[in-house]
Amino acid sequence: MTAELTDLAEVAAARARLDEHERELIERARHHGATWHQIAAVLGLASRQAAQQRHQRLVESARARRRALDLAYAPGLAAVRAAVVALDRWIEADQGWDAHFTRADLVRQTVRAALDAGPGSLYALAVHIAADLSGAGEQRLPLPVRQALAELRQALSTED
């Protein structure tokens, strides 16, 4: 590899680190009450929508990097992450989620942590999610969550 190509690879790696840092700072600012308008102004963006879109791009980029790491770590781990993402989508869409069973809030928090977990932690969190959902009694879970749980179980059973 030429020196220029090595330098370009270093720039790409630095950009990925900066993107991850920017995403974390945006999320912390939002958590502490900053508005999208304020974030847009600080980032030099024209609108709150531009700031939200930039954040979404950073989130998607980070998740793509995690998927690549999952595949490198163990091929079946990408299926585990996909099942956790599907489960998160259904939990977040269900406004009455916390009323379904005693540990529903814990499951939601574990799923959220698993979304951004590294490959080693992802598997352990997914095992806990599956156990907590199974312990809730599947008849108490909405059909989409039961389907996502089945996908998660399948992914865990085929994981290398």
Domain boundaries, the chain: 1-73, 74-160
**Range among 18-22, 49-53, 139-143, 148-152 with highest mean pLDDT value:** 49-53
% residues pLDDT > 90 (the chain): 45
Q: Is the pTM of this model over 0.85?
A: no
In this predicted structure, the answer to whether residue 155 has a pLDDT above a threshold of 60 is: yes
- Phi, psi torsion values for 106, nearest 5 degrees: -60, -40
Mean pLDDT of 117-140: 90
Going by pLDDT thresholds of 50, 70 and 90, the confidence category of residue 70 is confident
Residues shown for the chain: 160
Residue 140, amino acid: R
pLDDT score recorded for residue 159? 55
Going by pLDDT thresholds of 50, 70 and 90, the confidence category of residue 47 is very high
**Range among 40-54, 92-106, 131-145 with highest mean pLDDT value:** 40-54
Contact by Cβ (8 Å): 77, 70: yes
- Which of 71-99 are b and which e, b meaning 16 or more Cβ less than 10 Å from the residue's Cβ? eebeebbbbbbbbbebbbebbeebeebee
